[in-house]
């Protein structure tokens, strides 16, 4: 059984039941997790990254319990990008992206030429190499998001978990992000992303629709049943329309 | 690292090294008549030269630098670990814990008729002071972390640190109410003084620095990862619980040792990392080393000033650091308001 697999997972955050007996496996390619606010999307992604302990059920990676994996072993296989990119301290952009190599180097090994090359490639991929000597706290929200994405890419993990990666990004950079995800997938990376922008989410290979901590539907982006579930969890407030080769989602507002 | 960053770091390192050298000489030259190089030569050539310079001024000067270095290091670790520029050894309750440990020992020794204090030269008593301060510092940190339910929530941690600091200070007052004989020793302790530092203290402080600086520096990359948040650091494979235990232990050891040898010296742990960040913003590896050096230089400067300002009398060095450090923070606040 390869990759990440969730079996009967429940998670309570304080008095809120964030996830309720979720079972899920991911196909290779790009999976987008969507759903209304509070559906449990980010919690599920944190569970997949091994950051959120579960109250019931188990998460497996290649058949092994994820919780039993050593932290570095896990971090070399699963890269995670936070929803709200925290950033304090005085690190430059390059130094932040370099942190992605920690997963492979650990705390005590000095980086080599291969690590520097990977950092360069990640910065080019995320289009942030032009300001690599600037400090992170001096960047705009969108610029910072691209740097943090480059940090996740620098891990060079076969699994990439992205929580709201388009936050703060303007439309050209949202498009660039989709292209980047496609390149990652073509290179063999499995990408799982939480997305609020449903039109962007409908560019993914597979979608997982969540509501109130449960999986309401999982399927390919062209699946009519998935579209119906999507419309239902958003209380019919959206319409999904075909636009050439792709789908777009528009708010269902009466004139 | 940009060329400007590298230049600023080099300048800071050279500046700190030069200032330390000048202040070391000034520390040797600062006597009861104030600060004078010719007087240093005269004293050295005199009959008690070896005693005055070799046994009193030299260990005091070196000890002041080492105490400041431990406080600067503890402050830099605390600010990195808790991602809070206001964090310092006092935040975690470690200084108030160390103080309580020492006051308890002073009270016990006074009750037993063998009064000890900062001025005690007896090796066993000094070891007892170190042990009591370290135990107290550790207790203070553990109380703070227990009350804050871990170190994840910075605001909760800050509040818990304040509460524990007040509670331990009250406990210390209770002890001296019950054993008034310990009050004098406690007073010297609270004022902070480098006047009692001998070679034994220097050895203990140097061992403390050797035990805390290299391991903390080795963990600096974990502090770098923490700037992106605890979850991101964990996702990068950093074993945060172990790192936290090691670094909190380093803070407790560094603070406990500094407090046991020189009493409560405020603001050095807070101001030294601030100054380093201001002059040469850098990754935590450099910041830890530079903060230790800046802490040493600052306390050495304060010590020379404390001895020279109203010679032949001395200003308690803790009072001076509180005035200088407090003034620096007021200036910072004013600048921000103006900006």
Q: Does A8 touch chain B (CB under 8 A)?
A: no
Rounded Cα–Cα distance for residues B125 and B132 (Å): 10
ipTM for the complex? 0.91
Total-model pTM: 0.88
Q: What is the pLDDT of residue A167?
A: 82
What mean pLDDT, rounded, does chain B reach? 86
**Is residue A53 classed as helix, strand or coil in its secondary structure?**
coil
Q: How far is CA A219 from CA A37, A225, A228, A245, in A?
A: 21, 8, 11, 18
Phi/psi class of residue A232: alpha, beta or left (left: φ > 0; alpha: ψ in -120 to 50)? Answer: alpha
CATH of the domain at A184: 3.40.50.300
Contacts of A49 in chain B (CB under 8 A): 235
Contact between B83 and A89 using a beta-carbon 8 Å cutoff: yes
Q: What is the DSSP string of B146-196?
A: HHTTSSS-HHHHHHHHHHHHHHHHHHHHHHHHH-GGGHHHHHHHHH--STT
**Contact between B294 and B72 (Cβ < 8 Å):** yes
Structural domain range at position A133? 4-251
Contact between B237 and A46 using a beta-carbon 8 Å cutoff: no
Residue from B145, B140, B144, B133 nearest B98 by CA = B133
pLDDT per position as a tens digit, A45-64: 999 999 999 999 999 999 99
pLDDT per position as a tens digit, B137-189: 888 988 988 898 876 666 787 789 889 999 999 999 999 899 888 887 777 77
Average pLDDT over residues A128-144: 86
Contact between A99 and B219 using a beta-carbon 8 Å cutoff: no
Domain count, chain A: 1
Q: What is the pLDDT of residue B266?
A: 82
B30-31 and A246-251 as β-strands: parallel, antiparallel, unpaired?
unpaired
Q: What is the pLDDT of residue B335?
A: 79
Average pLDDT over residues B304-314: 84
Q: Which of B83, B218, B287 sits opposite A88 (nearest CB)?
A: B83
pLDDT at A252 over 80: no
pLDDT per position as a tens digit, A59-82: 999 999 999 999 889 999 999 998
Q: What is the pLDDT of residue A255?
A: 65
Q: Which of A72, A87, A133 sits opposite B2 (nearest CB)?
A: A133
What mean pLDDT, rounded, does chain A reach? 91
H helix or E strand, kind and range, residue A216 = strand A214-220
Tell me how many residue pairs between chain A and chain B have CB atoms under 8 A apart: 85
DSSP state of B51: I
Residue with the two structure tokens 């980047």: A180
Average pLDDT over residues B44-58: 79
Q: What is the pLDDT of residue B92?
A: 77
Class level of CATH domain B3-338: mainly alpha
Q: How far apart are the first and last CA of chain A?
A: 51
A243 falls in which pLDDT band (50, 70, 90)?
confident
Chain B residue closest to A50 (CA)? B235
Q: How far is CA B137 from CA B11, B143, B253, in A?
A: 35, 10, 8
Q: What is the pLDDT of residue A236?
A: 83
pLDDT per position as a tens digit, A155-177: 999 999 999 988 888 888 888 88
- The alpha-helical segments, DSSP class H, found in chain A are 41-48, 71-77, 93-98, 102-105, 113-125, 141-154, 171-186, 198-201, 224-233
Q: What is the pLDDT of residue A136?
A: 85
Q: Which of B1, B222, B235 sits opposite A107 (nearest CB)?
A: B222
Per-domain residue ranges of chain B: 3-338
A147 falls in which pLDDT band (50, 70, 90)?
very high
A56-61 and A4-13 as β-strands: parallel, antiparallel, unpaired?
antiparallel
Phi, psi of A116 (to 5 degrees): -60, -40
pLDDT per position as a tens digit, B74-102: 999 998 988 877 777 777 788 888 889 98
**Contact between B113 and B187 (Cβ < 8 Å):** no
Q: Please give the radius of gyration of chain B, using alpha carbons only, rounded to the nearest integer.
A: 20
């Amino acid at each position: 059984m390869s990759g990440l697999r969730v079996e009967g997972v429940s998670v309570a955050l304080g008095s809120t039941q964030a996830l309720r007996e979720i079972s899920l496996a991911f196909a290779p390619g790009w999976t987008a997790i969507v759903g209304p606010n509070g559906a449990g999307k980010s919690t599920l992604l944190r569970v997949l990254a091994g950051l959120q302990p579960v109250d019931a059920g188990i998460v497996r990676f290649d058949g092994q319990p994820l919780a039993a994996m050593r932290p570095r072993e896990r971090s070399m296989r699963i890269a995670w990008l936070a929803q709200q990119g925290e950033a304090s301290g005085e690190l430059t952009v390059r130094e932040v992206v370099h942190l992605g190599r920690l997963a492979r180097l650990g705390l005590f090994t000095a980086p080599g030429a291969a690590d520097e090359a990977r950092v360069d490639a990640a910065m080019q991929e995320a289009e942030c190499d032009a300001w690599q000597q600037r400090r992170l706290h001096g960047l705009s929200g969108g610029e910072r998001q691209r740097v943090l994405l480059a940090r996740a890419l620098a891990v060079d993990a076969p699994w990439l978990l992205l929580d709201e990666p388009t936050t703060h990004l303007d439309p050209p950079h949202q498009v660039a992000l989709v292209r980047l995800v496609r390149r990652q997938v073509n290179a063999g990376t499995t990408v799982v992303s939480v997305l609020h922008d449903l039109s962007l989410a409908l560019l993914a290979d597979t979608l997982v629709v969540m509501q109130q901590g449960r999986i309401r539907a999982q399927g390919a982006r062209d699946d009519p049943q998935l579209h119906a579930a999507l419309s239902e969890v958003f209380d019919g407030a959206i319409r999904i329309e075909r636009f050439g080769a792709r789908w777009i989602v528009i708010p269902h507002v009466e004139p | 690292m940009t060329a400007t960053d590298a230049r600023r770091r080099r300048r800071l390192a050279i500046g700190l090294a030069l200032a330390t050298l000048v202040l070391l000489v000034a520390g040797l030259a600062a006597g009861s008549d104030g600060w004078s190089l010719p007087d240093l030569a005269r004293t050295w050539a005199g009959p008690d030269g070896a005693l005055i310079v070799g046994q009193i001024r030299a260990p005091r000067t070196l000890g002041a630098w080492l105490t400041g270095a431990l406080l600067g290091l503890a402050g830099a670790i605390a600010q990195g670990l808790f991602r809070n520029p206001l964090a310092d050894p006092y935040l975690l309750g470690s200084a108030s814990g160390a103080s309580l440990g020492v006051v308890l020992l002073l009270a016990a020794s006074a009750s037993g008729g063998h009064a000890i204090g900062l001025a005690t030269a007896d090796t066993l008593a000094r070891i007892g002071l170190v042990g009591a301060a370290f135990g107290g510092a550790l207790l203070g940190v553990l109380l703070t972390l227990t009350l804050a339910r871990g170190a994840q929530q910075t605001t909760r941690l800050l509040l818990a640190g304040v509460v524990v600091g007040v509670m331990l200070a009250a406990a210390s007052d209770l002890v001296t109410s019950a054993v008034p004989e310990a009050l004098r020793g406690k007073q010297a302790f609270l004022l902070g003084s480098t006047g009692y530092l001998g070679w034994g203290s220097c050895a203990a402080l140097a061992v403390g620095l050797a035990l805390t600086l290299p391991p903390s520096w080795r963990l600096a990359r974990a502090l770098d990862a923490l700037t992106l948040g605890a979850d991101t650091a964990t996702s990068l494979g950093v074993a945060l619980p172990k790192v936290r235990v090691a670094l909190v232990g380093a803070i407790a050891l560094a603070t406990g040792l500094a407090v046991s040898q020189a009493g409560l010296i405020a603001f050095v742990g807070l101001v030294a990392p601030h100054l380093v960040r201001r002059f040469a913003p850098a990754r935590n590896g450099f910041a830890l080393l530079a903060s230790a050096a800046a802490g040493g230089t600052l306390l050495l400067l304060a010590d020379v000033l404390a001895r020279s300002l109203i010679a032949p009398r001395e200003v308690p060095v803790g009072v001076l650091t509180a005035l200088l450090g407090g003034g620096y923070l007021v200036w910072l606040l004013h600048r921000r308001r103006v900006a």
